[in-house]
Structure 1
Amino acid sequence: MSTKTKTIFDEIKAALVLKVIDSPLGRKLIEEKAEKQVSKTQEAITKPIEQLNKATGQLLFSDTNKPLHNIELEVWDRDVGTPSDYLGKGVTDQNGRFEIYYDPEKAGFKDAPDLELRVIDNRVTFDSDNQPVYTNRIAYIIKGGDNVTQKTYDFGTLTVPYWPYDPNSPFARIFMPNPEETPDDYSVGRKFQAYASANVLTPIKAKHTIANTLNPKEPSLTQIQADYPPNLTINLDREKPGYTRSDEYFVLRVLNGMNPCLLKRSKSDPNQFKMSFIWDNYEKDTEHDLHNVEAYFVLKDGKLFPTMITIQSRYPDSLAPHSPLKDREVYTPNDGEKWLQAKRIFRTAALFDGEAIEHYAKAHVQMEQYAVACFRNLRKNPIRLMLTPHLKSIININRRGDDLLVEPNLGLFVTNGPLTYPGFLQMCTEVVATYDWKDWQPRQPICDDHKYAKAANLYWQILTEYVDAFFAKHQQAIADEWVEIRRFSEDLVEHSMPYQPIEGIMANTDSDYEWYDTGELDKPDLPRATFNGKTKVIRPITNSNQPSATDIDNLKQCCRHIIFHTTLWHTWVNDSQSDEGGELAYNSLALRNGSFGSETDPNIAPDPIEATNQVYIFSVLNGIKYGLLVKNEDDDVPEELRTALLNRKDQFAELGIDIGNIRTLINI
């Protein structure tokens, strides 16, 4: 089969598969698969204890050999060809040890049981009275002895691959070699929405890929754009031609767009600001342009105005980090068409930075480390009820994102962006190696138009009130099960990246400018912990089995940090992708052939395959709306948070924000 024929076949196959999955039969099969993963609730054993047998043992995490604590277990009689028989249940203690009494007669008449130990996960939802409801799921099965007759059967010390860390990842991520064997699958409703969204868009991309395979010059960017639904900039320009290319709109996107930029302020003039994207640290690819770009602004009469954009380009063969650069060029609003082109170059840098840093690194990668530590350790502590609705599913979307967005030579950010895969990975690790929960808080507004900062502070206030109320309600239970918090903290610290001072894209090397607000940046003067001789980026929440007042404050802060980034922050950056990159002439992940030129010049814009992939992926990622906080489709968000958010509905509406669109979690 030729390469062209295979490409056409693959695109047709992908479109047809989505049609089947989104059919009534496909939906039924998915629902049945989900039901099969649930362990049935079993009746209690009523015989006197002296008439029962006992299974004992100890469970350890397979990757750390630490005790697998407070996890539910079930003992079954393993039968071949007939349903297995439930015998008894128990739970491990803080040392991972268990004793489970069971009735051997439940194995059947004259049938000595073939023992099987099932490790049970559960998920929590809330009923109409706001009371927790637990649904069990088999996480792992351990085969025991056959025809067991002894009064006490010792399974021994067993290692369980329960939420294991990936030893080969530079980040703290789960080891999941087979994405079909996930410990935390998507909700069924989320799957259906994904299929429905892709079902509409996949045939469009398939048509473009097939056309390009047959003729490398096809389809045109105009045709590609026309086939996809219009995005924000297209619709705005239909209402008000030229508005999205205006200086006013440029400032609004810098402050409030998909990448809400954290500006620097002049040390000598508090009304002067700038935003920089400096890529000197990273290896460039051979296909795309890479410019160091800085935009300057002045605050006048309460509004921000752009005054200058500077661009410094690499030479065509300057691919290595710290390669020679051309002379810096300066553009102002008086430069007409060149000014418009300079703004486009800045937008391109902002979009790529937004996707790589603000979206992928700060939301997806950063939050996975909290998810893994949470699901490994929190079972009895009420903090579980607060965090798991926001951290579930992230490992699945991150695994999918590995393939779709960051896979070497295949992922969108690598194929469409200006950096090589090593350069991209280096940039992301530099950011994650500085990002921590300690003393984090959102930036303050610069001016009245700074809607993102206003919304972030309003939401932070809500989270503070919610977390304080939750802790007051569950104060004793949080303290009673504090050992789980200590182990949660230990996992976070030990598996986080080695700390390194801010450098690269996030560094501020200016002598005359400084960050106008440092609330979202690392506080290098705060002490860090070391593990195996390395200083770790995540600071400990606690080092004790009994909480101090400082420990409680630390845990509150960490919870706010997690909920903020999995809800409002991820919603902001994810749901604005199509707004920013859904019109190819307005924005893309990179430009080519010098970057300066007309928006209609196809030699500057992404090539046809890059173009359709960009609009397709942004549209899909923006289109799946399952898992909204107020809607609470999975019934697992505590009522107190939903109520607190609804009480501020009007304040968000004044900022142009519909709270109904805020996502509960990172599932897309």
Structure 2
Amino acid sequence: MSKTKTIFDELKAVVVMKLLNTPIAQRLIEEKAAQKISKSQEDQPTKPIAQLHKATGQLTFSDTKKPLHNIGLELWDRDIGTPNDYLAKGITDQNGRFEIYYDPEKAGFKDAPDLELRVIDNRITFNSNNQPVYSNRIAYIIKGGDNVTEKVYDFGTLTVPYWQYNPESPFARIQLPNPEETPDDYAVGRKFQAYEAANTLTPIKAKHIIANTLNPNEPSITQIQADYPPNLTRELEKEIPGYTRSDEYFVLRILNGMNPCLLKRNKSNPNQFKVTFNWDNYEKDNEHDLNNVEAFFELKEGKLLPTAIVIQSRYPDSIAPHSPLKDPVTYTPNDGEKWLQAKRIFRTNSLFTGEVIEHYAKAHVQMEQYAVAVFRNLRKNPIRLMLSPHLKSIININRRGDDLLVEPKIGLFVTNGPLTYPGFLQMCKEVVATYDWKGWKPRQPLCEAHAYAKIANLYWQILTEYVDTFFQKYQQEIVQEWIEIRRLSDDLVEHSMAYQPIQGIMANTDSDYEWYDRNELDKPDLPRPTINGQVKVLRPITVSDSPSVADIDNLKELCRYVIFHTTLWHTWVNDSQTDEGGELAYNSLALRNGSFGSENDPAIAPDIIEATNQLYIFSVLNGIKYGLILKNEDDDVPEELRTNLARYKQQFSDLGYEVGNIRTLINI
């Protein structure tokens, strides 16, 4: 890439952000958001049925050929050069079939209608009386016959590309024929916040990239750091110099940081614990170091104390999985500067693993499979009211994340991290192939300082109360429309990954250590379904068109699981990114040139472009705060969840957490 093109691209990005953040641009965005809204009429044909014409047919999903059930339809007359004429509306039945009676005279005087069938999607909000309000929008348009005069017109069997699965993805994700068009757009308010955040930060990054293009030694890491907003560690260092590099802070971030680590306990000594990051399974890149690390701890008088860090490095040319390794070296708190450097190396492992597994794979990729299945199948069942506010927009942010974070050669996790793209993808597949809702609940607290575990359990209690209350309120309708839950379950299971036991980065290969808590880990003793000879990772909610007591309990469990991960879990990992990675001297996604060295040594730190990209992306991802449960900006969060959550505000505050920060959904 030429220097001129690089400079032009960065300046163009700045100008675009400035323009998008103007009032006129915001008005255009609002107008565009309204363009796809259906203009359907509420009136139905008033003539006797015998005098009406009828349109019939069947809709199926284009990818599975299964019936597209319970979806709204509108029948229109197409007119060239004049507004189209609305004729009538209908809905498909459980088999995707429809019959729509219409008055052909509505097409106009002596104008036989040119039929057009519109597939209508809708979104639900709640008014001030907590009653649902439906907003229709066009999902797909099907052209029928011209100048139709017959009494019954049969559209035949039609395939609709509605929330279709991507057969090329190793995960259960949506297929987007046009990557710029998704079936569920961001809220307008969320777009404005994104433009505002980028409007502030894009010029900073552009300045750095342009300066570096003109002079490869500029700007310095120190200057880059100073240009971005201060993060948690920089602010703490102003108040208490040296605290963020202390052993106390090190433990607190392991327990409660962006990557709240799940520790292993020594089988023969229950007061000894460790955290391990082992990369032997994965291909390394040429630019960054990749170190296997183990941090050891002792629980003493109720406090978790670090006792040692063991580091085993690859040789510079050890790129392939299971390459030869150097001898492991142990560092302790008595090793002074080397101990500080060992902790920094451990932090980079924790940050990279947190971003790839806990953030990207566990929240974004895993939850997309639930979003696709929910929006494909839930229309009449009230469970839609519960789940859709938490699953909307994930398609959009995941599509953007594909480019920004994981695209080969340009995504942040690939360019700044230590793995090649194949190694990165392998790690994601290994972990997603173990994630399931069945039997999951949050880990128990390990010690008094384990704030994350306490907060997670309190939130799980709230979700349990909320789900139980919701099911009591809507029990009859949930059972009545159970066929949608059956099809939701079938889609989830059939399109989930093939199950494989925990391996790679998440495996426990120790003979003398075991997980201190298995609540969040796979339950291999619970049976899994086999489809076409392949054992699936997701277990079914139900296999019946009529629910049993166990089926209802399964559905409750799945709802808690989805809401937990799209709200508190994603909030926790996303909003802590700048806490962990907003100071380059404290942490980064990888280190270079042997990893050991002073925090002030630029040869150890990320290079100049990596440095500004890390601070830019983390700041943007943390800066957009639209879509909070208690604010309910989109008016679609059920009142029961909001009131129940607000009732526990003080208990969260006592644990050092502001409940108003919990996001409703994954929209960033």
Query: For the Cα contact (< 8 Å) 2:289–2:418, is it kept in 1?
Result: yes
1:240-255 alignment, distance < 5 Å: 240-255=240-255
Runs of 4 or more consecutive aligned structure 1 residues displaced over 4 Å after TM superposition: none
Shift of 1:485: 0.2
Q: Which residue of 1 aligns with 2:100?
A: 100
Residue-by-residue CA offset, 1:446-500 (whole Å, 9 max, x unaligned): 0110000000000000000000010011001000000000000000000000000
1:465 and 2:465 are equivalent in the alignment = yes
CA distance, structure 1, for counterparts of residue 120 and residue 533 of structure 2: 36
Q: Which residue of 2 aligns with 1:434?
A: 434
Q: Which residue of 2 aligns with 1:477?
A: 477
Q: Which residue of 1 aligns with 2:398?
A: 398
Q: Which residue of 1 aligns with 2:27?
A: 28
Query: For the Cα contact (< 8 Å) 2:331–2:339, is it kept in 1?
Result: yes
**In the alignment, residue 25 of structure 1 is paired with which amino acid?**
I
**In the alignment, residue 99 of structure 1 is paired with which amino acid?**
E
1:42-191 alignment, distance < 5 Å: 42-45=41-44, 46-191=46-191
1:411-422 alignment, distance < 5 Å: 411-422=411-422
Residue-by-residue CA offset, 1:416-451 (whole Å, 9 max, x unaligned): 000000000000000000000000000000011000
CA distance, structure 1, for counterparts of residue 636 and residue 66 of structure 2: 29
1:560 counterpart SS class: helix
Shift of 1:177: 3.0
Q: Which residue of 1 aligns with 2:9?
A: 10
Query: For the Cα contact (< 8 Å) 1:436–1:538, is it kept in 2?
Result: yes
1:556 and 2:556 are equivalent in the alignment = yes
1:155 counterpart SS class: strand
Shift of 1:324: 0.6
Shift of 1:514: 0.3
> Which runs of 5 or more structure 2 residues have no equivalent in the other structure?
none
Q: Which residue of 2 aligns with 1:233?
A: 233
**In the alignment, residue 613 of structure 2 is paired with which amino acid?**
N
Q: Which residue of 2 aligns with 1:384?
A: 384
Query: For the Cα contact (< 8 Å) 1:76–1:88, is it kept in 2?
Result: yes
Shift of 1:52: 1.1
Q: Which residue of 1 aligns with 2:456?
A: 456
Query: For the Cα contact (< 8 Å) 2:352–2:417, is it kept in 1?
Result: yes
Query: For the Cα contact (< 8 Å) 2:40–2:86, is it kept in 1?
Result: no
**In the alignment, residue 561 of structure 1 is paired with which amino acid?**
Y
CA distance, structure 1, for counterparts of residue 653 and residue 261 of structure 2: 22
Q: Which residue of 2 aligns with 1:408?
A: 408
1:37 and 2:36 are equivalent in the alignment = yes
CA distance, structure 1, for counterparts of residue 473 and residue 418 of structure 2: 50
- Pairs aligned (count): 667
Shift of 1:48: 1.6
1:269 and 2:269 are equivalent in the alignment = yes
Q: Which residue of 2 aligns with 1:336?
A: 336
2:139 counterpart SS class: strand
1:474 counterpart SS class: helix
> Which runs of 5 or more structure 1 residues have no equivalent in the other structure?
none
Q: Which residue of 1 aligns with 2:528?
A: 528
Residue-by-residue CA offset, 1:345-396 (whole Å, 9 max, x unaligned): 0000000000000000000000000000000000000000000000000011
CA distance, structure 2, for counterparts of residue 10 and residue 104 of structure 1: 55
Shift of 1:290: 0.2
1:646 and 2:654 are equivalent in the alignment = no
CA distance, structure 1, for counterparts of residue 176 and residue 460 of structure 2: 33
1:299 counterpart SS class: strand
Query: For the Cα contact (< 8 Å) 2:293–2:311, is it kept in 1?
Result: yes
Shift of 1:158: 0.3
Query: For the Cα contact (< 8 Å) 2:348–2:590, is it kept in 1?
Result: yes
Shift of 1:340: 0.1
Query: For the Cα contact (< 8 Å) 2:170–2:497, is it kept in 1?
Result: yes
Residue-by-residue CA offset, 1:476-534 (whole Å, 9 max, x unaligned): 10000000000000000000000001000000000000000000000011100111210
Shift of 1:43: 2.7
Query: For the Cα contact (< 8 Å) 1:39–1:137, is it kept in 2?
Result: yes
* TM-score for the superposition, normalised by structure 2: 0.99
Shift of 1:41: 3.9
Shift of 1:98: 0.2
**In the alignment, residue 396 of structure 1 is paired with which amino acid?**
N
CA distance, structure 1, for counterparts of residue 177 and residue 347 of structure 2: 37
Range with greater deviation from structure 2 (42-51 or 404-413):
42-51
CA distance, structure 2, for counterparts of residue 43 and residue 655 of structure 1: 51
1:8 counterpart SS class: helix
**In the alignment, residue 10 of structure 1 is paired with which amino acid?**
D
Shift of 1:24: 0.7
Q: Which residue of 2 aligns with 1:502?
A: 502
Query: For the Cα contact (< 8 Å) 2:185–2:396, is it kept in 1?
Result: yes
Same amino acid, percent of matched pairs: 80
Residue-by-residue CA offset, 1:188-208 (whole Å, 9 max, x unaligned): 000000000000000000000
CA distance, structure 1, for counterparts of residue 338 and residue 424 of structure 2: 29
Query: For the Cα contact (< 8 Å) 2:293–2:310, is it kept in 1?
Result: yes
CA distance, structure 2, for counterparts of residue 178 and residue 623 of structure 1: 28
Q: Which residue of 2 aligns with 1:211?
A: 211
CA distance, structure 1, for counterparts of residue 526 and residue 576 of structure 2: 34
Residue-by-residue CA offset, 1:395-425 (whole Å, 9 max, x unaligned): 1100000000000001000000000000000
Residue-by-residue CA offset, 1:76-112 (whole Å, 9 max, x unaligned): 0011111111000000000000000111111111100
CA distance, structure 2, for counterparts of residue 664 and residue 101 of structure 1: 41
**In the alignment, residue 37 of structure 2 is paired with which amino acid?**
V
Query: For the Cα contact (< 8 Å) 1:179–1:396, is it kept in 2?
Result: no
1:39 counterpart SS class: coil
Query: For the Cα contact (< 8 Å) 1:184–1:392, is it kept in 2?
Result: yes
Shift of 1:40: 2.0
